[in-house]
Structure formats: structure tokens, C-alpha cells
Amino acid sequence: MSILNEISQNLQCGKAKVVKELVQKAIDEGISAESILKEGLLDGMGVIGEKFKNDEVYVPDVLIAARAMSAGSELLKPLLASSGVKATGKVVLGTVAGDLHDIGKNLVRMMMEGKGLEVIDLGIDVSAERFVETAVREDAHAICCSALLTTTMGEIKNVIDAAIQAGIRDKVTIMIGGAPVTDSFCKMVGADIYTADAASAADAAVQVCSR
């Protein structure tokens, strides 16, 4: 079995430590960072993603695979940057102002990272301005807002308004999610994409970034 194949296999089993060691070994053997990422890490995540869609594996399995992916890609980041390889895409993620819930948002982050996206996670209680400032500074493809409460989901509208004010509304896709959020709410406030769960959020983000 080639080392890249081994990375993929171990990643599918969620063996973060082994994946990290193998990635280091591959780097030492002189394999390019881009090959390690694409043929090792992302290949494994692709298999897991497909199995997840077919109900063969579940969220915890995807999560530990994503964690193994992160462990491996940490080592690759500096190499990728220096060789000019860009991440699949970049998104800004956070829970809106006044809302302290982060478990679902973290799930979204891990799923997105598993797809090879660079996620700038602003955490919880994130103001509309901070979402927009970060998106401008990082030249992000998307702003992803999470809201768990009916009392905070209105904040999403503020993020959109801030994006309009900053003049980036046509450049950045605004994705929203969270238990009370719906597709019709998405249309009502003028956001771009609503997704019902973490896995579909990651899929949608990849699509946005590859446009």
C-alpha cells in the first residue's frame, strides 16, 4: 500500500495520530504537499463523505475523520502556502451576536475543514461588523452565520446589512443555519443559502467556493 493510500485509510478510521505521523513521513520522503493533501487526506474524506451520504457511517465517524484531516493538514499548511497552493476555499464562521451556542457551529466547522476548506471560526456572540470585517480582510468566499434562538436569528439580518454597507454583498455568499432557521427565513432576510445540517452546509460551502 502506498503511503498516500495509507493516509487515506487511517483518516477514514479517524486515527489522527497515525495520520499525522504518516503525513510527516510522506513530507520527509519528498512527496509534494499538494499530493499528500489531495491523494491522501482529501481522498479519505471523499470516501467518508460518500459513505455518510449512503448512511454507512454517521456524524461521529465523519467528525473523527475530519479531526484526523486537521491533524494532517496542520503540517501541510506552511508547505502549501510557500508553494502557492490555495485551499479549496475560505469561509468566515460564527454564532451571531447575543447567541452563545457553539456545538452545532463547531460541527459545521469540522465538516467544512473535512472538505478541505479554510474556516475562520470567530466563535460565539459575533457582531455583524466582526463578520464583515473579517470577510473583507481575509477575502472570504462566504460568511456562515449560526443562530440557535428565535431571539437571535434576527441578527442575521444585521450581518447582511453590514455586508451591504461595506460594499461586499455581491462578492460574499451568506450562508445561514441553526434550529429555528428555515429556507423561507433565508429568503425573507435576503441571505443566500440555508442548509439544514452540518454535512449539507459543508457541501454547499464547497460549491460556493468553487464557483
Partner 1 sequence: MHLRAEVLSPKDLQTVHENTLALLEKYGIRIKHQEAKMVFLEHGAKVEGDHVKMPPELVMKALSSVPSSFILTGRNTERNVGIGEGYSPVFGPGAGAVFISDYERGRRPGTVQDLRNLLALSQSSKHIGVACAGMIYPFDMPVGVGLEAAILETLKISDKPLFGLSQDSAVSEICIEMARVATEGKGEHYVMGVVNSLSPMAWDDKMLGSIMVYAANNQPLVLACCSMAGFTSPTTLSATVIQNNAEIIAGIVLSQLVRPGAPVVYGNTSTITDMSTMNLCIGAPEYQLISTAASQLAKFYKIPYRSGGGLTDAKALDMQAGIEATTNLLFSMANGVNFVLHALGIMESFMSISYEKWIMDEEIIERIMRMTGDGCRLLPDAVEMIGNAVASGSGSFIDHDDTLDNFRSEFYRTPVSNRQNWDTWEKNGISCQKTANGIWQKRLKDFVPPELPSYVLKELEKLVQMP
Binding residues for partner 1, per CB under 8 A?
A: 14, 58-61, 63-64, 67, 102-103, 106-107, 179, 182-183, 194, 196-197, 200
Work out how close the CB of 60 gets to partner 1 at its nearest, in angstroms, rounded to a whole number.
5
CA 56 to CA 186: how far, in whole Å? 31
Grid coordinates given for 148? 440557535
Work out how close the CB of 80 gets to partner 1 at its nearest, in angstroms, rounded to a whole number.
25
- CB of 62 or CB of 163, closer to partner 1: 62
Work out how close the CB of 55 gets to partner 1 at its nearest, in angstroms, rounded to a whole number.
9
- CB of 100 or CB of 164, closer to partner 1: 100
Work out how close the CB of 88 gets to partner 1 at its nearest, in angstroms, rounded to a whole number.
23
Strand order in the sheet with 90-95: 118-121, 90-95, 142-146, 173-177, 193-194
Q: Which residues pair with 144 in a beta bridge?
A: 93, 175
Q: What is the C-alpha radius of gyration for the chain, rounded to an integer number of angstroms?
A: 18
- CB of 26 or CB of 201, closer to partner 1: 201
Query: DSSP states of 87-151 as a string?
Result: PS-EEEEEEBTT----HHHHHHHHHHHHTT-EEEE--SSB-HHHHHHHHHHHT-SEEEEE--STT
- CB of 135 or CB of 195, closer to partner 1: 195
CA 67 to CA 18: how far, in whole Å? 12
Work out how close the CB of 170 gets to partner 1 at its nearest, in angstroms, rounded to a whole number.
26
Work out how close the CB of 187 gets to partner 1 at its nearest, in angstroms, rounded to a whole number.
12
Smallest Cα–Cα separation from 179: which of 110, 126, 105, 109?
Answer: 105
- CB of 26 or CB of 64, closer to partner 1: 64
- CB of 31 or CB of 66, closer to partner 1: 66
CA 133 to CA 22: how far, in whole Å? 38
